[in-house]
Structures are given as structure tokens and as C-alpha cells.
């Protein structure tokens, strides 16, 4: 088994919940809302929900903020910029940008699990400008070009 990477997290308020895995093999950790009072997200609107946490993502990683499937299925609520990226050099509060695609107002309360956090490795490529790209069988075929 490979060693696990450490993710330093700072609580910005004492009642903020640390991210936690809901099951033993879960890829994502649940992120919870840190609110002084409930926040209502009306249908078709969005809100930045604070978590009360800041983190130091290790170099070579990003923390991805992803939707929770239960919120999407039951309420039509998802992460607007999914996946949101927390870069290794960001030290501010992590907020979750939720949007309500449902038909009813959605109420977010302190401690509600609002998103998942997945730590993912990434490369930072060296950009090399070229005059022409190599050819492929797909070519410039974009959206839907390979079928539905």
C-alpha cells in the first residue's frame, strides 16, 4: 500500500467540521457548511457557502470540490463550477458554490454536507508553441462528433 499524502487543514471557526470520508473506500471527503444562520438558495440561483476551513494543498496536487450525488438527485442542487479547484498556493477559506436547479427553495444549515473534496495529482506542463499539430483520425471533430 502506498503512503497517504497529508492535507493540513485550519479551522477558521471552532464549530467548523473537518472533512471526513463517509465510507472506508470513498474517494471524496464530505465538506460541511459553516453558517451562523440558515441560507436559502431559491430555484435558479446560487450561493457561495462557507466551510469555515482553509487548507494547504500539497504541491503537485489540487483539491477538487465536487457535487454530492444525493443533493443532486433529491433536490437538484449541485456545485456550479464543478469541479471547483483549490490550488496549492491558496490559503483562504474554502467555499462551495452551490446552485439550485430544483423547483423548490433549498435551505442550507450549519453542518449540512454540501460537497465532496477529492485530492488529485496533476502535472504542470511546459508549454511549447508549434506551428501545426499532429493529425489524428478524429481531427477537429468536437461536441457529439463521436456519437451520442
1 pLDDT tier (thresholds 50, 70, 90): low
For residue 61, what is the domain's CATH number? Answer: 2.70.40.10
Burial group, residue 89, by CB count within 10 angstroms (0-12, 13-18, 19+): exposed
Residue 81 lies in a domain: yes
- Is residue 39 within 8 A of residue 47, CB to CB? The reply is yes
Residue 41 lies in a domain: yes
Residue 17 lies in a domain: yes
Q: Give the predicted TM-score (pTM) of the model.
A: 0.88
Residue 69 lies in a domain: yes
DSSP 20-69: EESSTT-SSEEEE---SS-EEE-TT-EEEEE-SEEE-PPTTEEEEEE--H
Residue 126 is classified by DSSP as P
- Cα–Cα distance, 116 to 102 (Å, whole number): 20
Work out how many domains the chain is built from and give that number: 1
Residue 79 lies in a domain: yes
Q: Give me the domain span that covers residue 14.
A: 9-121
Quote the cell numbers at residue 95: 467555499
Residue 74 lies in a domain: yes
Residue 99 lies in a domain: yes
The pLDDT tens digits for 53-111 are 999 999 999 999 999 999 999 999 999 999 999 999 999 999 999 999 999 999 999 99
Alpha-carbon torsion angle 62, 18, 104, 85, nearest 10: -10
Residue 80 lies in a domain: yes
- Is residue 145 within 8 A of residue 138, CB to CB? The reply is yes
2 pLDDT tier (thresholds 50, 70, 90): low
47 pLDDT tier (thresholds 50, 70, 90): very high
The pLDDT tens digits for 61-73 are 999 999 999 999 9
User: For the chain, what percent of residues have pLDDT higher than 90?
Assistant: 88
Amino acid at each position: 500500500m502506498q503512503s497517504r499524502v497529508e492535507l493540513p487543514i485550519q479551522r477558521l471557526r471552532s464549530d467548523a467540521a473537518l472533512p471526513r470520508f463517509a465510507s472506508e473506500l470513498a474517494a471524496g471527503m464530505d465538506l460541511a457548511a459553516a453558517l451562523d444562520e440558515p441560507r436559502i438558495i431559491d430555484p435558479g440561483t446560487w450561493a457561495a457557502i462557507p466551510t469555515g476551513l482553509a487548507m494547504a494543498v500539497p504541491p503537485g496536487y489540487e483539491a477538487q470540490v465536487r457535487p454530492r450525488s444525493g443533493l443532486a438527485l433529491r433536490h437538484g442542487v449541485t456545485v456550479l463550477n464543478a469541479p471547483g479547484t483549490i490550488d496549492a498556493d491558496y490559503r483562504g477559506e474554502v467555499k462551495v458554490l452551490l446552485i439550485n436547479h430544483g423547483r423548490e427553495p433549498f435551505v442550507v444549515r450549519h453542518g449540512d454536507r454540501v460537497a465532496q473534496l477529492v485530492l488529485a495529482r496533476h502535472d504542470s506542463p511546459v508549454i511549447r508553441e508549434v506551428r501545426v499539430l499532429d493529425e489524428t483520425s478524429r481531427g477537429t471533430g468536437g461536441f457529439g462528433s463521436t456519437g451520442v
